[in-house]
Structure 1
Amino acid sequence: MRAFVYNVVLTVFWMLVTESFTLSNFLVGFAICFLILLLARPLFDAPSRRYFTLAWKLPRFVALMLWEIVLSSVRVAQAVLSPRMPIKPGFIAYPLTVKSDLEITLLANLITLTPGTLSLDVSSDRKVLYVHGMFVDDPQAVIQSTHDSLEKAVLEVTR
């Protein structure tokens, strides 16, 4: 977290030196300062180094989430526009690999944001997330798919 604060402080200095207080100048300064801090990475302690790895993982995470939303949206649209509505709704008890409150909340929100699914509740021991799905033909396949895509992405970004 300290590296992020350094990045913001250096970006403010950048804006003062260039005498331009626009969003585009902020973004350019932020990128330049990030590269400077990346070169100075050996000077930081181990927790601050996580900032640099997160900067590479976060865009990939966002892209994956957008892709999942697009795919689910297409599947829901196809089902709704189909004359026979080929849906099989159901409830799933999804076993959680994530442990922290942040990880559980992030995963539950990602599942809810994905069209056709809704996070309902977390068990009291925080080991099971209850999910309602529009397409639950094979509950094990849904669990495996969620684990391989969303939960894996959450773990990659948070750990």
Structure 2
Amino acid sequence: MTLLIVNVLFVVVWVAITGSATLLNIGFGFLLSAFTLWLIRDQVGGRSYWTRIGRIASLIGLFFKELMLSAWTVAVMVVKPRLDLQPGIFAFPLTVTSDFEITLLANLITLTPGTLSVDVSEDRRYLYVHAVDCSNIEATKRDIANGFERKIMEAFR
């Protein structure tokens, strides 16, 4: 995580030197500093940093894939002449343990159309999720566990 801070500091220096705080310039500065840190990765011991960046990118890719698939599924549900939905709330057993991981999982679920994180149990072992269609709760739980939750654990542990 230290290399991320160094990377962000390099971006701040880059923005200060160029005098431009546009999104494109910040993105370019981030890529430039990441490339620079990659060149000296053996000297700074940052091999895991690059693995983590790849895993975070994989999590982001999964989110956008799930966003498109669920948006399509909800759109198809809405245009059907007969709504055959079984909305409901189910308890999802959490494998993630830290506040950050639970919050990230809850937000990713909420940002995906058709689902909404409602609450976390007091013992932080269950996340209560509202789904537009609860006809197959076990499949939904399996999708969350093998998708978002697994990618979160890969990226942040």
Length-normalised TM-score, structure 2: 0.86
Q: Which of the numbers 78, 84, 87 marks the counterpart of 2:85?
A: 87
Rg larger for: 1
Shift in CA distance, 27/113, structure 1 to aligned 2, threshold 3 Å? closer
Q: What letter is aligned with 1:107?
A: L
Cα contact 1:3–1:49 (8 A) shared by 2: no
Cα contact 1:92–1:130 (8 A) shared by 2: yes
Task: Give the deviation of 1:25 after TM superposition.
Answer: 4.2
**1:125-140 matched pairs, under 5 angstroms:** 125-140=123-138
Q: For 1:26 and 1:124, how far apart are their aligned partners in 2? A: 40
1:44-101 CA deviation, whole Å, 9 max, x = no partner? 35xx654322222222211210111111111111111111112111221110000000
Q: Give the CA RMSD over aligned residues.
A: 2.1
Q: For 1:153 and 1:69, how far apart are their aligned partners in 2? A: 15
**1:49-68 matched pairs, under 5 angstroms:** 49-68=47-66
Which sections of structure 1, spanning at least 5 residues, go unmatched?
none
Partner of 2:141: 143
Shift in CA distance, 41/118, structure 1 to aligned 2, threshold 3 Å? same
Shift in CA distance, 6/78, structure 1 to aligned 2, threshold 3 Å? same
Length-normalised TM-score, structure 1: 0.85
Counterpart of 1:136 in 2: which secondary structure?
coil
Q: What letter is aligned with 1:68?
A: E
Q: For 1:92 and 1:72, how far apart are their aligned partners in 2? A: 18
Which sections of structure 2, spanning at least 5 residues, go unmatched?
none
Task: Give the deviation of 1:139 after TM superposition.
Answer: 1.4
